[in-house]
């Protein structure tokens, strides 16, 4: 989809993607204006090498193409991807997403730019989206995976109350190696026991 087509799409019908507000963050739909910062942050080697799908080097035009795919994929029920930004300032920190396996299950994914590591932003953003997935999207189960050589990502999953469910040995190939994936999962009833009331404000 070209930027012109995306602009035309926006004039035809309202965008129903949510905006989620947490204590420090605003999770909102990406805009084309975010593309240069997406390329800068996601294109950092330390980010790309720890994720399944982010290339390095990050090619020109890829961020725009990625952003333009978000709305149609949401309308198809395939995924919800939101920009993680600082509340009030609007600074782009990273991204968080739920990718549907079917109407009942989805996989959580996230990345945060290296200048913002170690401040709890990833956990806060992921917590908000998991809550939305269970309460609003009506999901029954959410899973997440991480490279076993990236235990920091696993700690995010553990903080969300996800349970370790096993290791998928040499499950994916990235760069010049096969990667083991640690698998985590959580069920709706388990989440509601941890978080009995909504953790975010939601705006459409």
Confidence band, pLDDT 50/70/90 cuts, at residue 12: low
Please give the pLDDT value at position 106. 98
For residues 204 and 30, give the distance between their C-alpha atoms in angstroms, rounded to a whole number.
Answer: 14
For residues 32 and 4, give the distance between their C-alpha atoms in angstroms, rounded to a whole number.
Answer: 11
**Region for residue 18 given its phi and psi (left: phi exceeds 0; alpha: psi -120 to 50; beta: otherwise):** beta
Please give the pLDDT value at position 175. 79
Confidence band, pLDDT 50/70/90 cuts, at residue 200: confident
Residue 2 has pLDDT above 90, yes or no: no
Residue 54 has pLDDT above 50, yes or no: yes
Q: Helix, strand, or coil here: 11?
A: helix
| Segments making up each domain of the chain, as ranges | 3-140
Residues β-bridged to residue 20: 27, 202
Mean pLDDT score, 80-101: 97
For residues 17 and 29, give the distance between their C-alpha atoms in angstroms, rounded to a whole number.
Answer: 7
Give me the chain's average pLDDT, please: 92
Pairing of strands 19-21, 163-174: unpaired
Residue 7 has pLDDT above 50, yes or no: no
Report the CATH number of the 3-140 domain: 3.40.630.30
Residue 9 has pLDDT above 80, yes or no: no
For residues 59 and 127, give the distance between their C-alpha atoms in angstroms, rounded to a whole number.
Answer: 30
pLDDT digits (tens, 9 = 90+) for 26-46: 999 999 999 999 999 999 999
């Amino acid at each position: 989809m070209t930027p012109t087509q995306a602009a035309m799409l926006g004039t035809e019908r309202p965008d129903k993607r949510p905006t989620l507000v947490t204590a420090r963050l605003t999770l909102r739909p990406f805009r084309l204006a975010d593309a240069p910062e997406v390329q800068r942050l996601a294109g950092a080697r330390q980010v790309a090498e720890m994720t399944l799908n982010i290339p390095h080097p990050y090619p020109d035009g890829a961020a725009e193409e990625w952003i333009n795919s978000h709305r149609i994929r949401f309308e198809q029920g395939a995924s919800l991807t939101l920009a993680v930004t600082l509340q009030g300032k609007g600074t782009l920190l990273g991204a968080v997403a739920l990718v549907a396996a079917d109407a009942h299950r989805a996989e959580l994914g996230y990345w945060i730019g290296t200048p913002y590591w170690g401040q709890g932003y990833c956990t806060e953003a992921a917590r908000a989206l998991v809550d939305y997935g269970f309460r609003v999207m009506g999901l029954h189960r959410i899973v997440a995976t991480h490279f076993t050589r990236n235990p920091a990502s696993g700690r995010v999953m553990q903080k969300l109350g996800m349970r370790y469910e096993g290791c998928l040995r040499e499950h994916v190939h990235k760069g010049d190696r096969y990667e083991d994936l640690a698998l985590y999962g959580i069920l709706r009833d388990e989440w509601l026991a941890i978080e009995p009331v909504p953790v975010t404000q939601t705006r459409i």
